[in-house]
Amino acid sequence: MAELNENFIKLPGSYLFSTVAKKVSAYQEAHPQADLIRLGIGDVTKPIVPVVIEALHKAVDEMGHAETFRGYAPDLGYPFLREAIAAEYTRRGCEVSSDEIFVSDGAKSDSANIQEIFAPDSRIAVCDPVYPVYVDSNVMAGRTGDYDAADGTWSRVIYMPCTAENGFVPELPKETPDLIYLCFPNNPTGTTITKEQLQQWVDYANRVGAVILYDAAYEAYITEEGLPHSIYECEGARSCAIELKSFSKKAGFTGLRLGYTVVPKEIVRGGASANALWARRHGTKYNGTPYIIQRAGEAVLTPEGDREVMEQVRYYLRNARTIRDGLTAAGYTVYGGVNSPYVWLKTPDHMSSWDFFDLLLSEKNIVGTPGSGFGPHGEGYFRLTGFGTYENTERAISRMQKL
Ligand SMILES: *Cc1c(COP(=O)(O)O)cnc(C)c1O
């Protein structure tokens, strides 16, 4: 008889967004007239920019003619896109070549799949609070030990608290990990890391032989000087860091699906190359991102595409600023929202994250995301996002100022 994978069975249900959805629909049913404003969304809302739409149309037409039709895309990505991405790194002064870039359908799948090329008994370290994909994918791989339902932690995972005290940048862990997941600018806290701080992580990883899995999905939202746009700005990162990137939050590709992972050839362990293993894995399990989508990605990387998508990024950033400034003026303690579409606020009067969720929903008809859903150290915090419309963002904040 076939048995199901016990690692998958161990995985607790994902309660956060389903509980939010249930509570919101129950409220709506009881109060059909309520004018709900949703600031919980982690998805973009603006349409794809004109330059990209034009590239999509052109690529679709090419598919309809024998001379320009394309079948399977190369497993690792079309050279035109890999070269355009490598050129971006060169412009930033980072050493990354096109054969170190692996085009994919997004950073969620890459961040979940990358663990496959590492030893089954690798110890992982994650921030707390954290984007849940890093932990769950390692649970599925049987790497995380036993689950403690009382505090929602796994026995073999090294948790690195990110708190107001450490500026939401984790301290080096006491136990030595093999794989370190970092995400900056961060989801959910909206905060980021300085180049000096990131350099310390790179030095640490090189010292202990660990590999950093660096999720830079929100890189386009960096507005301040002196912040690293890529981990390869740090010296020595090529021997210890894999970078995950996405077109989702930068160019509104959450529905189109496009991302990439950078695996430098200098990451070699036990004589084997991570770059070669990821190429082998990609070639076996992935048959290439659609040609049409890769052409759309190429358009994002042109000067005109960049201008158009960055205008949208600035729109979301203005919303995040509006939330941050409005709530600060009203006496809330607020983090993030400057180099990120996310604002992370402390709940007033030491309320729990879920109590504050209920209060905001019932008193102000605003939907956000309880911080405790991202990990134990998210308790007492709450996430709002700049992905709504400016008008709704302003209305929501003026409601919250009167709470
Ligand atoms: C949204 C997001 C991603 C990107 O996901 P895609 O699969 O590329 O859409 C990756 N990491 C984090 C932390 C995110 O919030």
pLDDT average per 10 residues of sequence, the chain (403 residues): 96 87 96 95 93 98 98 95 98 97 98 98 98 96 95 96 97 98 98 98 98 98 96 98 98 98 97 98 96 98 98 98 97 98 97 97 97 96 97 96 82
Phi (first) and psi of residue 45, to 5 degrees: -130, -15
Q: Where are the beta strands (DSSP E) in 207-275?
A: 211-215, 241-246, 259-262, 268-269, 272-273
CA of 392 to the centre of ligand 1 (A): 24
Q: Is 221 in the pocket of ligand 1 (CB under 6 A)?
A: no
Burial per residue of 27-46, b for 16 or more beta-carbon CB atoms within 10 angstroms, e otherwise = beeeeeeeeebbbbbbebbe
Q: Is 248 in the pocket of ligand 1 (CB under 6 A)?
A: yes
Exposed/middle/buried for residue 1 (C-beta within 10 Å: 0-12, 13-18, 19+): exposed
Q: What is the pLDDT of residue 232?
A: 98
Prediction pTM value: 0.97
Mutate to test the pocket of ligand 1, among 215, 221, 293, 344 (most ligand atoms within 8 A of CB): 215
Q: CA–CA distance from 85 to each of 4, 104, 164, 305 (Å)?
A: 40, 13, 35, 14
CA of 177 to the centre of ligand 1 (A): 23
Exposed/middle/buried for residue 136 (C-beta within 10 Å: 0-12, 13-18, 19+): middle
Q: What is the pLDDT of residue 250?
A: 98
Could you give the 3-state DSSP secondary structure of residue 396? helix
CA of 361 to the centre of ligand 1 (A): 26
Q: Among 174, 173, 172, 216, which Cα is nearest to 192's?
A: 216
| Amino acid at position 81, single letter | L
Q: Is 187 in the pocket of ligand 1 (CB under 6 A)?
A: yes
Q: Is 192 in the pocket of ligand 1 (CB under 6 A)?
A: no
CA of 33 to the centre of ligand 1 (A): 34
Q: What is the pLDDT of residue 42?
A: 85
Q: What is the pLDDT of residue 138?
A: 98
- Name the residue with the closest Cα to ligand 1, atom 2: 217
Place of tokens 């950073």: 107
Q: What H or E segment, with its residue span, contains residue 127? A: strand 124-128
Q: Is 108 in the pocket of ligand 1 (CB under 6 A)?
A: yes
Q: What is the pLDDT of residue 41?
A: 79
**Residue length, the chain?**
403
Q: Is 183 in the pocket of ligand 1 (CB under 6 A)?
A: yes
Q: What is the pLDDT of residue 333?
A: 97
CA of 2 to the centre of ligand 1 (A): 34
Question: How many whole angstroms separate alpha carbon 334 and alpha carbon 337?
Answer: 9
Q: Is 107 in the pocket of ligand 1 (CB under 6 A)?
A: yes
Q: Is 104 in the pocket of ligand 1 (CB under 6 A)?
A: no
Q: Is 131 in the pocket of ligand 1 (CB under 6 A)?
A: yes
Q: Is 189 in the pocket of ligand 1 (CB under 6 A)?
A: no
Give the number of the atom of ligand 1 that is nearest the alpha carbon of residue 258. 8
Mutate to test the pocket of ligand 1, among 44, 102, 103, 108 (most ligand atoms within 8 A of CB): 108
Q: What is the pLDDT of residue 378?
A: 97
Give the number of the atom of ligand 1 that is nearest the alpha carbon of residue 108. 7
Rg (CA), the chain: 21
Q: What is the pLDDT of residue 24?
A: 96
Q: What is the pLDDT of residue 57?
A: 98
